[in-house]
Structure 1
Amino acid sequence: MTDPGFMGPPWQMDWTLKAQTARDVLPERVRKMVDAARAEMVTAADPYYRGIDADAHLPDDMKVRPVRSSDPKGSRLFFFDHGHGWLRYTFVRRVEDPQIIVEEIFWQ
């Protein structure tokens, strides 16, 4: 991600309407956890969290995994609250205005 002209963190983040609606109905304490996860994602050097222990700097209750290991640039699951919740997101890598798009959110 060191291409000349490529924008870096903090990344832009957008939510699908479905994900935003799901986030808005969560209890306040869970929304704060989602906000903490969002802060980690938008400031990450590599939003794909690639490589061994790439997410090692995250708090203990957060982990990132690919949805499918055969698709290294595909969707990711960002687990929070010790796995009780997750965000499914993709990273749209563009020279101008790259962004993270949260497609789905779940918490139980």
Structure 2
Amino acid sequence: MPEDGKQLVLSARAELITATDPYYRGIDADVSLPHWITVRPLASTSPGGPHIADLAGGRGWLTFTFTRRHADLQITVTDAFWA
């Protein structure tokens, strides 16, 4: 992955892990994220399951899930793409 894509992916991961509502439920639930990230569930029937974060107006994306841990959430990126 090119360096600019890698930096954007790392920045997106940091934003996602510190989100107030990591499952992004409801309308405009991702308004606290930077303008270059939009988040949606992978399947609308599974809002607590995998999510997709579109990066930089569609130049790339991350598919990720959250795993609850004792003290905090853990993000697991299962797929990353950069064009």
Q: One fold, TM greater than 0.5?
A: yes
* Alignment match, 1:40: 15
Q: Bigger relative contact order, structure 1 or 2, given CA contacts below 8 A and separation 6+?
A: 1
- In the TM superposition, residue 97 of structure 1 has moved relative to its aligned partner by 5.3
| Greater shift in the superposed pair: 75-84 or 92-101 | 92-101
Aligned length: 83
Distance, in Å, in 2 between the alignment partners of 1:68 and 1:53 is: 17
Structure 2, unaligned runs of 5 or more: none
Alignment root-mean-square deviation, CA: 1.4
* Alignment match, 2:32: 57
- In the TM superposition, residue 81 of structure 1 has moved relative to its aligned partner by 1.3
* SS class of match (2:4): helix
Q: Percent identity?
A: 49
Structure 1, unaligned runs of 5 or more: 1-25
* Alignment match, 2:43: 68
After TM superposition, the score normalised by the length of structure 2 is 0.89
Superimposed CA distance per residue, residues 17-46 of structure 1 (whole angstroms, 9 cap, x where no aligned partner): xxxxxxxxx111111111210111111122
Larger proportion of strand: 2
- In the TM superposition, residue 95 of structure 1 has moved relative to its aligned partner by 2.8
The answer as to whether partners of 1:62 and 1:83 remain within 8 angstroms in 2 is no
After TM superposition, the score normalised by the length of structure 1 is 0.70
The answer as to whether partners of 2:51 and 2:64 remain within 8 angstroms in 1 is yes
- In the TM superposition, residue 94 of structure 1 has moved relative to its aligned partner by 3.1
**Aligned AA (1:30):** G
